[in-house]
Structure 1
Amino acid sequence: MTIPAVIVIAHDARSPEPGVEDYGPEIAARVEAVGGDVLAIELVPLGGELFEERMQHYIDGEVSLLLTIGGAGVGPDDIVPELTSIIVERRVPGLEELMRRALIEDSPEGSLERGAVGIAAETLVVNLPRDLALIEAALASLAPIIPTVHARLQGRESPYPGDESTGYDDEFDG
């Protein structure tokens, strides 16, 4: 089972961190390792309307996983979580907490990340940090659950074709 995915990188021309645009392929490889099929990596200027429009474009398409990179910290222009909140129909706080815990364990700077996770139509939207090490920590924390979320958004219980079991025993011993 492959998960159609897109990576949208929030580009801040004033950012002192060069190279955020360059590690899209590295992130794509990690997404593909958990069953994702990265259809596009797009660099979009950080700002309100255009970034929101691009996210909505992919949600309206055939994308099941939309990852945003950057724009989720505490800087004055970091508004990606707010834009995500406009687009998603349902937040997924458990995945936000799971990701945030991994970020904090990786680095104290992880506590400054405000990334949102939510569902828009049949698309899982995840705001990832700008820092590659933090991106890796976030993706590692979400990797085991992404196939399950995808399957459930498609109306299946199991991410594995032909296996609709929940993995839980029918009997409870108390």
Structure 2
Amino acid sequence: MKESTPEIHKKEAKKSFSFALITISTSRYEKYGNPASPEEAEDLSGKAMKDLLEAAGHKVSFYRLVSDEKTSITDAVLAALDSSADIIITSGGTGLAPKDITIESVTPLFEKEISGFGELFRYKSIEDIGTSVILTRAVAGVIKGKAVFCLPGSPNAVKLALSEIIIPEAGHIVRHVRE
């Protein structure tokens, strides 16, 4: 049987990547400040992401906890872009509450949007949360040759996004954004 183009691209892609994780939570930031790891901030979503990535053979080279403020979010993303990370993932601030401004802070930086990510994430989330899926504004895009994913803050959401979308497609995504 002949392999499809996506399967060929995945086989040719590098297998291990470096990730930057940014958790956006004012309450957690006020309590823990600038921790070096998700464990130090009792960041369940950050720890879930780190554990999933490391179990898949990837490395977390950057971790930042920031408040729900545009400058803090943007500065963290820009610092992650300057790091050795191949892929950047933010968690939190994607809902509809007035303080949820991750999307408004990050999307103006996008050179290209990866619209299929948000669509697929919401599709896969329907089984778990039903029609509440309309409340998530998860998005992804490309900035300076790196993929950036903005995820909801719940541990279940980050586990779904990483295990079913981001980790399986990491090599394929990185290869394409760097061409």
Unaligned runs of 5+ in 2: 1-14, 29-40
Counterpart Cα distance in 1 of 2:137 and 2:75? 21
Cα contact 2:139–2:149 (8 A) shared by 1:
yes
CA RMSD, Structure 1 to Structure 2 (Å): 2.1
How big is each residue's C-alpha offset from its partner over 1:91-111, in whole Å with a ceiling of 9 and x where there is no partner?
Answer: 011122111211222213333
Q: Which has the larger radius of gyration?
A: 1
Residue 130 of structure 1 aligns with which residue? 153
CA contact (8 A) 1:3 1:37 kept: yes
Amino acid at match of 1:133: N
Higher helix share: 2
**Deviation larger for 55-64 or 91-100:** 55-64
Q: Does 1:98 align with 2:120?
A: yes
What number of residue pairs does the alignment pair up? 152
69-78 or 5-14: bigger deviation = 5-14
CA distance in 1, matches of 2:69, 2:147: 21
SS in 1 for 2:27: coil
Aligned 8 A contact 1:98 1:141 in 2: no
**Which residues of structure 1 form unaligned runs of 5+?**
156-174
CA drift of 1:59 comes to: 1.1
TM-score, length of structure 1 as denominator length: 0.78
- Which of structures 1 and 2 has the larger relative contact order (alpha carbons within 8 angstroms, sep 6+)? 2
What amino acid is the match of 1:137?
A: L
State which of 71, 83, 87 in structure 2 corresponds to 1:65: 87
Paired amino acid for 1:2: S
Deviation at 1:117, TM superposition (A): 0.4
Identity of aligned residues (%): 23
**Partner residue of 1:8?**
22
Per the alignment, residue 144 of structure 2 pairs with: 121
Q: What's the TM-score once normalised by structure 2's chain length?
A: 0.76
Whether the aligned pair in 1 keeps the contact of 2:146 and 2:178 (CA below 8 Å) is no
List 4+ stretches of structure 1 deviating above 3 A.
Answer: none
